Amino acid sequence: MFKKVTAVIMAAAMAVIALSGCGSNGKNEQGSEKVKISFSFWEPSTGTEMEDALSQIVENYKSVRPDVEVELISQPVSGYQEWIKTRFASNQAPTIESNYSLTIGDQYKQGLIVDLKDALEGENPYDKKIWKDCFVDGKLEQATDYTQPWYVALPLFDLGVAYYYNMDVYDRLNLKVPETWGEFMANCEVIEKDGINPIALMGQKKDAVVWLMWYLNTAMLGDAFLSDSDININGDCAIDLREAAAAIANGKLDFTTGRYQKVQEMFWDEIKKYSKYTQNATGFDEAAAKSQMLTGKAAHIMSGSWDINAFMENENGLRIGAFSLPAFTDKDSEYNSGNPVIGGVQAIGLTKTAAADEKVKEAAVDFLQFMFSKEQYKIFVDGTAQIPTVKDLDIDPIFEAFQSGSMPINNVLCLEAEKIDQTPYDVVMQLLSGQDVNYAEAEQKMNESYKMWLEEYEADGKYTKDNNYGLDELEEKGGKYEKAQ
């Protein structure tokens, strides 16, 4: 199913024939002039999988709405942001725009994107269900990276990080797929005794190490920060950099004493435990770590949904599956919270161009409802191998492993700046390589380093102590925080 799909999918085409004439308002009559809408995007890979899949959906849409002409505008990713800015500036923006979720959120604040509240709260005529209920839980909120109301944008596809695992090793050792961190560590112990590297860590790929840091900082220790009103000023589900800056400036984030000394040491202890199950962790670059996984020398690797094809269609015929990042329970950590969203979603927004003409807006909304209907969206998923954001699709269960995150990333223990001599990442790399770390010295350096981070953060004058670091205008991210029971 993961091979690149460019051909017409006959089953879906037959479904479209059945739907013909059943658009949102029955508007399938031929008019003297078609309503024209446009949809801009970039390819997430080096091929044309997205354009091919969307072209098939557009072709199918002609059977339903022959009065609408949909233009697909595929742009290179390298110049997309400048291109879209120029289009908005010249009042020539596409009707529908795909972009990063945070960018769509910023555009909404600027009045460049219009919301979809009425449409989402109404029925999708192609699925006969309330439209907002058709999306995987939490994905509408992620479509603006939690910065705007849930009804501002649509999640085109998901991006996530999970653990790929060797199914043959699991079967041979009679292991169950872990749901909790404790179960995962227990599996790694069994695998290590069997002579296989439990986890192939891409130690020379900084992103991969930072994913691990974000994961532990959020899932294992998130409650320590989120439940502290001296740091989490607005009580939401994320610690904004402005909140971190205020906490450092006001002496509320001290790693040499109290709660945050304990939290920091818990973090480092867990990294040390993890390093036991990651042979030669800091010696592997991305290619070497993946080679270990693909040759059966390692049982797990933490990587992204973009690697599904590479692992599922490997030349050695290994059976490789994936499971969600294991959850931390009270038994694993007293400060546990939900798993982070590492990756987020690629979003779609309806631009102000659509809002300028009611016929264009109606056609654009109707096309999006058609595109996100189960039958058509499956064409998109089959053709692109992207993680779906629509519920109840008949797809490979491996996709589910990348859909589990619910919390914005907490990176309080991961702050970096150019002037810092010892970053949190540096300490983690020392621990992963098996080096001894003097915790007391490292904690003192953390305090000093975070003061340097604060100086760099304040340097442009935008957020300083004089304006209370902008906390008075802080927006909620992810809703009000409540510790999961």
What architecture (CATH level 2) is domain 161-340+415-485?
3-Layer(aba) Sandwich (3.40)
pTM of the model: 0.83
Instruction: Spell out the domain ranges in the chain.
Output: 10-160+344-402, 161-340+415-485
Per CATH, the number for 10-160+344-402 is: 3.40.190.10
Closest alpha carbon to 338 in 452, 472, 459, 226? 226
Backbone angles phi, psi at 97, to 5 degrees: -125, 135
Q: Do domains 10-160+344-402 and 161-340+415-485 have the same CATH topology?
A: yes
Which residue type does 239 have?
Answer: I
Angle value at C-alpha 108, between 103 and 109, nearest 5 degrees: 100
* pLDDT at residue 343, as a whole number: 82
The confidence score (pLDDT) of residue 270 equals: 97
CA angle 370, 373, 375 (to 5 degrees): 110
SS3 373: coil
The tokens of 273 are what? 């435990």
- Residue 7's pLDDT is what? 33
Q: Biggest alpha carbon distance in the chain?
A: 78
The confidence score (pLDDT) of residue 178 equals: 98
What are the per-10-residue average pLDDT scores of the chain (485 residues)? 35 39 47 88 87 98 97 94 97 97 95 97 97 94 91 95 97 98 98 97 94 96 97 95 96 96 97 95 91 96 91 90 96 94 92 94 98 97 92 87 87 87 91 95 95 94 95 89 79
